[in-house]
Amino acid sequence: MNFSQGIKAFNEPTKRFEAEVIDGKIFHDGNPLATWMAGNATIKPDTNGNYKPLKPKQGSVKKIDGIITAIMSYWRATQANGENLTVYERENRGFITIG
């Protein structure tokens, strides 16, 4: 399953992830790398109120890759119901016979 890096694709996942963090349902247990990356992430809504985490500026050494990955993983895990998975992505796909 592809996950576009555009702001529209990240809007709902980011807002839901943020709400879960604020509600204490997602936490990183004091992981210093997660704390550092979360501190580096900024939000700048577009004119429609869409947003996603951004690095402070292009070329910055302040990374947010773990935050982006966490949001993508969270969204995939909460949305996966098997209907949109290819036969190769399904866990118990069984045997495929060609003949």
pTM of the model: 0.75
Q: Exposure pattern of 14-26 as b/e (b: 16+ CB <10 Å)? A: bbbbeeeeeeeee
Say what the pLDDT of residue 4 is: 87
What pLDDT tens digit does each residue of the chain (99 aa) get? Answer: 678 888 999 999 999 999 999 998 888 888 899 999 999 999 989 999 999 999 888 777 899 999 999 999 988 888 866 555 555 666 665 555 554
Say what the pLDDT of residue 63 is: 93
What value, to the nearest 5°, has the Cα angle with vertex 75 and ends 59 and 88? 100
CB of 7 closer than 8 Å to CB of 54: no
C-alpha–C-alpha distance, residues 86 and 90, integer Å: 7
Say what the pLDDT of residue 99 is: 46
Based on its alpha-carbon atoms, the radius of gyration of the chain, rounded to whole angstroms, reads: 17
